[in-house]
Amino acid sequence: MAERFDLIVFDWDGTLLDSAAAIVLAIQAASRDLGLPVPTDERARHVIGLGLVDALSHAVPELAQADYPRMVERYRHHYLSSDHELNLFAGTEAMIATLAARGHMLGVATGKSRQGLDRALSYTGLGRHFLATRCADECFSKPHPQMLHELMDELGTPPERTLMIGDTTHDLQMAEAAGVAALAVTFGAHPEAVLRQHTALAYIDEPEELSAWLYRNA
């Protein structure tokens, strides 16, 4: 079967790495450290995938501009204290290796910082499979399409041959803005009902189903 997509771009947190709960807890703990109202799980989960400053401003609107550096420091303290213990979703390592072996170009577009993504790519061992990556401290935050535009430009791939895979509405809106197809996974940060308000080729309910869908359709 002819490959439909030359370039497959993955979000990281909540799509490849089972980290949404840890991000929520870190946002909430940082809020407590600064004596701010603690966001609900739902509010904190909604901002996953955005750049950190944008995420914190939406999750904790009471945060004063002058306190952003301290809030970011406390968030990173709480998240990084246990991020090395987080696991890839079931089947992720084999899926990525198989896609690379089949000749797909693989990329990452993430709300993580460059330092954070490089750390994650290293401890998960997946870094060797990704040809290009973009982070929120290098580009406009999702849903702005800059990350996808830059990845396509770097790897010489047109929008019609590019697929974006993510677990949030930010990912789906970014794909739409960039003119690329999107695939939604419902086992990450945003619930299926919210994801289905946006266009995707499919809505994948279990990590194990993702590799099967890609094998059949990508």
C-alpha 109/C-alpha 166 separation (Å) is: 9
Mean pLDDT of the chain: 95
Q: What is the mean pLDDT of residues 205-213?
A: 96
Residue 67 annotated as catalytic: no
Q: Work out the average pLDDT over 29-50.
A: 95
In this structure, what is the dihedral angle of CA atoms 173, 175, 181, 186, given to the nearest 10 degrees?
A: -50
The mean pLDDT value for 167-180 works out to 98
Sheet holding 105-109, edge to edge: 132-134, 105-109, 7-10, 162-166, 181-185, 203-204
Work out the percent of the chain whose per-residue pLDDT is above 90: 91
Give 85-104 pLDDT, tens digit per residue.
Answer: 899 999 999 999 999 999 99
pLDDT at 180: 98
11 annotated active-site = yes
pLDDT reported for residue 150: 98
DSSP, residue by residue, 89-119: PTTHHHHHHHHHHTT-EEEEE-SS-HHHHHH
pLDDT at 1 > cutoff 80: no
Of 52 and 35, the structure prediction assigns the larger pLDDT to 35
Q: How many of the other CB atoms lie within 10 Å of CB of 1?
A: 7
pTM (predicted TM-score): 0.94
Query: Is the per-residue pLDDT at 167 higher than 70?
Result: yes
pLDDT the model gives residue 83: 81
The residue from 11, 18, 83, 171 that is catalytic is 11
Q: Which domains does the chain have, with CATH numbers?
A: 7-19+87-217 (3.40.50.1000), 20-84 (1.10.150)
pLDDT at 59 over 60: yes
CA dist list (Å): 4 to 91, 109, 181: 22, 20, 11
What is the mean pLDDT of the segment spanning 51-77? 92
Helix residue ranges, H only, the chain = 20-33, 41-46, 52-59, 68-80, 92-101, 114-124, 146-155, 169-178, 192-195, 207-217
Catalytic residue among 13, 18, 83, 167: 13
pLDDT at res. 2: 53
Q: Does residue 9 register a pLDDT over 90?
A: yes
